[in-house]
Amino acid sequence: MEVRQSPTTYRHIRILRNPVPAHRRCAAYQPRASNAPPWVNSAACGRALKRAQQPVKSMSQSIVKNLVHLIFSTKHRERTITDAVRPHLHAYMAGILDDLDSPALTINSVPDHVHILLNLDKDRMLSKVVMELKRGSSKWIKKQAATFRQFYWQSGYGGFSIGQSSVNQVTAYIAAQAKHHRKKTFQEEFRGFLQRYEVEYDERYVWD
């Protein structure tokens, strides 16, 4: 039996798991006098030893679901995402996220920013995923037309975790971006997210 430093307690019997044969450990708990405590007996010892000898069950895999509402804008919020390139940009970004094992549930954009709901891979940092997503999509869009040669994403981003129960609501919100921004700017929208999630921020470093 494997040697473990920490003891395991079963009811009132304290047993240290060690290579001593089970029958000897059990014998150590036999009552030596008629006035011995009632819980010190071979039956109780036997049950405890039986439980101690059972293999420890462990999870065969780690199951994680990290749903993130990701938001970032173009550099200086330039209105450079056109209707013609938009669906192709979304598809390309979805491909990058698939390659990063962080699939997108939905993607939508307006001329100056993008919203993505993704399932972040448990072994990847969000900052690394965003970096690869921006780098890959920026290189791609620059090749689509001369008008995109100076295309850049902003340096920062916003990542907000959501629960499974909010997926439909967030999906609908992302799908309705064009409607939302008839009355609200990207900056107003983003401030609202920061306030809703109680994120402290400095206006001097949020926008770029």
pTM listed for this prediction: 0.71
Partner residues linked to 118 by β-bridges: 68, 104
List, for residues 132-169, the tens digit of each pLDDT value.
999 999 999 999 999 999 999 999 999 999 999 999 99
List, for residues 23-73, the tens digit of each pLDDT value.
454 555 444 455 555 544 555 556 656 666 666 666 678 899 999 999 999
Helices marked H in 22-72:
22-28, 42-53
Write the CB contacts of 82 (distance below 8 Å, at least 6 apart in sequence): 111
Q: Which string of DSSP letters, residue by residue, matches 151-180?
A: --B-S--EEEE--GGGHHHHHHHHHTHHHH
DSSP conformation class of 66: E
What structural domains and CATH numbers belong to the chain? 12-53 (no CATH), 66-206 (3.30.70.1290)
CA dist., res. 165 & res. 157, Å (int): 24
